[in-house]
Amino acid sequence: MSYLEATNDLYRKAATTPDVGLCCTTNPIWQLPGMKIPTIMQEMNYGCGSTVNPSDLSNEPTILYVGVGGGMELLQFSYFSRRKNGVIGVDVLPEMLEASRKNFIEAEKQNDWFKSDFVDLRIGDALNLPLEDNSIDVAAQNCVFNIFKLDDLKKALSEVYRVLKPNGRLVMSDPTCEQSMSEALRNDDRLRAMCLTGAIPLQDYIDTITSVGFGTVEVRAKRAYRVLDPKHYETKELIYIESVEVCAIKDPMPSDGPCVFTGKTAIYYGDEKYFDDHAGHILMPNQPLAVCDKTAATLQKLNRDDIFISESTFHYSGGGCC
């Protein structure tokens, strides 16, 4: 059985029997004014963060959600879009689509603003999306792509890149891990499907995203997620797994490489009116400017004693250079 078949087996069961401990997030579930999330949707929350950000959703975007689960984030996206077929949900399993369809009917009973037809559910594979090129403004996936091995991860990212309109964005939440894992863990299809042992280092994750063409990447959040301990897993040392929220934007690739924002900030504290790097960045005295890692590295290389560059906070929320 391939790891993709093992994944399907796991989520087929999770579609019919909610598995509260599967994935699960460290941040509280987004509760929005006037929105009730049915209990069954909360029990079927198989994500590890949130992909729903109001700031991504201006100008009535067409939204694609890959890997529907119990449908909670599609309900949250619908809260903002509030129109027929505003959110397209794609899942490889008919059982998961059926479960979410029932959950949307329950959500409709509990929320007078919501109609089930706000969500357009489609059977399909993340590795071969049933959508036209350049047709989506905002795509999202939560705890799906980390399951994929490298070639499939590239394929899934390329598929989203293909269906996004120019400057469209892919919002993601996935586990990442900076430590190496044994081959036994990496090849344990069940643990991989449970979003535990497919996690790769954040820089590798970002490099894979930019390798398919995304010109801008934002790391918006990073949190503690899980540990794999020697008593319960095939590992000699304790392995620490984090979850990240990342947005990849289909901007043109800059000639000097992608702009990756990990939450670095530059602050000029010299005696001049401002500092101009003649590459488009002007630093006003003691005013923070969010900078991408590329700009941070260029400023650092100047070796000046009047520019401070912060470490990555991994909490970038927009603005700044590029």
Residues lying near ligand SAM in the complex (CB under 6 A): 7, 11, 23, 45-47, 66-70, 73, 90-93, 96, 125-127, 142-144, 195
Place of tokens 């290389």: 301
Exposure letters 173-185 (e unless 16+ CB within 10 A, then b): bbbbbeeebeeeb
DSSP letter for each residue of 77-90: HHHHH-STT-EEEE
DSSP letter for each residue of 170-199: EEEEEEE-SS---HHHHT-HHHHHTTSSS-
321: helix, strand or coil: coil
Those residues with Cβ within 8 angstroms of residue 305's Cβ, 6 or more apart along the chain or in another chain: none
- What is the distance between the alpha carbons of residues 69 and 143, in angstroms, rounded to a whole number? 10
Q: Which is nearer to ligand SAM, 81 or 295 (CB)?
A: 81
- Minimum distance from CB of 59 to ligand SAM (Å)? 24
Q: Which is nearer to ligand SAM, 19 or 178 (CB)?
A: 19
- Minimum distance from CB of 178 to ligand SAM (Å)? 22
Q: Which is nearer to ligand SAM, 7 or 210 (CB)?
A: 7
- Minimum distance from CB of 97 to ligand SAM (Å)? 9
- Minimum distance from CB of 4 to ligand SAM (Å)? 6
Q: Which is nearer to ligand SAM, 61 or 70 (CB)?
A: 70
- Minimum distance from CB of 297 to ligand SAM (Å)? 34
Q: Which is nearer to ligand SAM, 93 or 296 (CB)?
A: 93
